[in-house]
Amino acid sequence: MFAFVKLSHMNIEIDKLYGPEFLMSNEERPIGEQIGNLISAIGNHEAKALTLLAMKDGAIYNKHELSARIRELQGRNPIWRQSYSLPFDYCAHSLSPIGLVTREILSPNLSAYGYQISEYGRRVGIPFAGLLLDFSDQNNISLERLFASTASSSKKENKEDKRRAPSTTLSIMRKIHILEKNSISLIELLDMFKDVKSHIIVRHIKRLAEIGLLNLEAGNLTASDDQRIIFTDLLERIDRFKIGDREVIEKAQVLADGIVYDSKKFSSLMGRAKENSGHASSSSLVETKKMIFSILFGMSGMSNIQIRQELEKQYDKKLKLHTVEKITSAMVKENMAKVIKEGRHLKYFLD
């Protein structure tokens, strides 16, 4: 557990704070909103947080370089050999939208680009990632299962519900944490949330119960002393970071650096992400189609044999030839690609 004095009892001297302005990005969003955005961007998935940690200051990474960097930091036997596109997708869809990384053009014709960690990413993102990755490591809890990754949330939830999932999870934990008693009925807890639909709260509660942070039985919620200690640990990490506590932020930076330079810990956290990630399925048809699309984008006019070779070379994905043939045939039917017969071979192009 991170050694903190409880917030309710603390009296921190001003010179020990960086202050709330520490968190302010160029867009100057409210601090509370920034914490929610940080969790949604890097705090709800170990692999996304590790992607940010992997980026060296001043370096611009293309798709292949970023993937290679993450494999390198896992040591000689990477636990999760992600597709080349996945870390790049994290940058595009999670890190870049809130300013943790910036997109940089790499070619004069604007066709090639990469990502570089931003000043906000270095100053705020790195220590925040270190803080939550250490929580995951110390408590053996998946960040994705804890905060309900927006990518894995139920399809029944709308975009706003998914965006607010981390904040809703924290609110539930806070309300249970401050209770003088160790139990509360589900009805009582639902009454505390007037602006969130009941079925959303119930879904979060069930998830927290599934990972062992709550006990749900016969309509009653209970939290043991050990479970409340974990609540305290997480909430105090986030709350002290939120107010710009110098001690916490500097320690979080040290934790982040330690993860980068410890291949066993880096690899272990990647393994936890893999266990709980929908992207980790090697048999995913959708992911394989994306890989083939990417291959054809770079080298159009390839045969199934060549595509099979590139899948293994670029993505470490070994498939039988007839499997590749079935997938490319499906891509043609779905207008994802077109095929031309040249001699005895079928050649595939992007449509």
Residue 148 has pLDDT above 80, yes or no: no
Q: Which of 275-279, 328-332, 337-341 has the lowest mean pLDDT?
A: 275-279
Domain that holds residue 343: 285-350
Nearest residue to 271 via CA among 165, 131, 93, 144: 144
Reported as a single tens digit per residue, the pLDDT across 297-327 is 878 899 999 999 988 887 777 788 888 998 9
Greater confidence, 150 or 85? 85
pLDDT of residue 276: 81
Nearest residue to 270 via CA among 56, 150, 90: 90
pLDDT of residue 155: 43
Residue 323 lies in a domain: yes
Long-range contacts of residues 254-258, Cβ cutoff 8 Å, at least 24 apart: 254/130, 255/127, 255/130, 255/131, 255/133, 255/134, 256/53, 256/126, 256/127, 256/129, 256/130, 256/133, 257/130, 258/130
Q: Dihedral, CA atoms, 86, 89, 94, 98, nearest 10 degrees?
A: 140
**Measured distance CA(264)–CA(222) in Å, rounded:** 35
Q: Which residues contact 234 (CB under 8 A, 6 or more apart)?
A: 135, 173
Residue 304 lies in a domain: yes
Residue 76 lies in a domain: no
Reported as a single tens digit per residue, the pLDDT across 215-237 is 988 888 988 889 989 989 999 99
pLDDT of residue 110: 63
pLDDT of residue 251: 95
What's the domain count of the chain? 1
Mean pLDDT of the region 201-217: 90
pLDDT of residue 284: 64
**Measured distance CA(198)–CA(189) in Å, rounded:** 10
DSSP 299-351: S-SB-HHHHHHHHHHHH-----HHHHHHHHHHHHHTTSEEEEEETTEEEEEE-
Q: Which of 56-70, 136-150, 271-285, 336-350 has the lowest mean pLDDT?
A: 271-285
**Residue 33 CA: distances (Å) to CA of 15, 98, 185, 241, 250:** 25, 11, 29, 14, 22
Residue 245 lies in a domain: no
Cβ contact 322:316 at 8 Å: no
pLDDT of residue 24: 54
Mean pLDDT of the region 201-216: 91
Nearest residue to 52 via CA among 109, 13, 91, 20: 91
Mean pLDDT of the region 107-119: 82
Greater confidence, 293 or 182? 293
pLDDT of residue 152: 41
Q: Which residues contact 238 (CB under 8 A, 6 or more apart)?
A: 35, 131, 170
Residue 181 lies in a domain: no
Residue 279 has pLDDT above 70, yes or no: no
- What are residue 105's DSSP bridge partners? 113
Residue 308 lies in a domain: yes
Mean pLDDT of the region 169-196: 86
Give the chain's mean pLDDT: 84
pLDDT of residue 160: 55
Residue 138 lies in a domain: no
3-state secondary structure 210-279: HCCCCEEECCEEECCHHHHHHHHHHHHHHHHHHCCEHHHHHHHHHHHHHHHCCHHHHHHHHHHHHHCCHH
Mean pLDDT of the region 134-141: 95
Residue 49 lies in a domain: no
Greater confidence, 285 or 231? 231
CATH of the domain at 339: 1.10.10.10
pLDDT of residue 306: 93
**Residue 99 CA: distances (Å) to CA of 26, 49, 120, 257, 262:** 8, 14, 7, 21, 27
Nearest residue to 56 via CA among 129, 122, 147, 138: 122
Q: Which helix (H) or strand (E) holds 50?
A: helix 46-54
pLDDT of residue 244: 87
Sheet holding 183-185, edge to edge: 183-185, 220-222, 215-217
Cβ contact 290:85 at 8 Å: yes
